[in-house]
Copies of this chain bind each other. A is one copy, B any other.
């Protein structure tokens, strides 16, 4: 069994960024109808190669040539959930990394059933969602939107730790602070980004796609997730500052995010990054 390091430096993350840019991994995404275009452009701006295919006649063949698989249930239908299940089965069999974005978990019982069906097929390498989604997937009842309050964040982290243990994989809880943790107790928190990123549809979904791209080139899924979320957080913060300095808004931010994904340099990245190890006292 491979043992991965617990320590992670900005240099490590930058090495992963360069690996995506140079290796151009093929990422198979089965995602929602709203964000497909932006997800694909996110991956391309980052240097990865997106492929989107969901027909039952070919979804296994496509999963068989990809370097990572990303599943997103945003606009789920029975046909698409079955596509995801089939792709997940092939990916698990091949040993490529799989990333699940449980969009809207908890909003309807059909979403919860669909997530259960996917988890029953295979445990994803990474699950990324906001606090209420992660709590819902972990089986914790969520009542209100106010889940980002202090008390709720600690509830969400406990749910995330439980979920990581039950799946044996990585869990990322994103929000004002992003937390990335795994079954072995590794935990990093990231404090970049900007609230405006939530005013563009598909940035969360595209973060998940980015995690897939990093997982395709970095065998440690926890490190890959930290690297993807760290990079996107800095990209988002730098892009928002640029846009606001010009008196522009969230439309321009949508474009600036893509530009910075492609162009951000190492010096800026390392000077802006805010990363902290969060020791877990379970």
Contact = CB atoms under 8 A, between A and B. Distances in A.
Interface string A15-49: 00000000000000000111111101100110000
A61 B108 contact: yes
Contact of A249 (B58, B109, B263): B263
A228 to B, nearest CB: 18
Q: State the copy count for this chain.
A: 3
B260 A256 contact: no
A54 interface: yes
A37 B40 contact: no
A254 interface: yes
A193 B142 CA distance: 43
Interface string A84-119: 000000000000000000001001111100000000
Given A61-B109, A254-B255, A52 B75 contact: yes
Nearest to A260: B249
Contact of A33 (B52, B107, B109, B260): B52
A167 interface: no
A202 B61 CA distance: 22
A258 interface: yes
A62 B109 CA distance: 10
Contact of A250 (B32, B34, B262): B262
Nearest to A26: B145
A223 to B, nearest CB: 26
Nearest to A259: B249
Q: Which of A57, A76, A107 gathers most chain B CB within 10 Å? A: A57
Contacts of A247: 263
Nearest to A62: B108
Contact of A258 (B37, B38, B249, B258): B249
A65 interface: yes
A247 B44 CA distance: 18
Contacts of A53: 75, 104, 108
Q: Which 4 A-B pairs have the closest CB atoms?
A: A251-B258, A249-B259, A40-B201, A58-B108
19 contacts: A37-B202, A41-B251, A41-B254, A44-B250, A52-B74, A53-B75, A55-B75, A55-B76, A55-B77, A57-B78, A57-B108, A58-B110, A61-B108, A248-B263, A249-B259, A249-B263, A250-B259, A251-B256, A252-B258
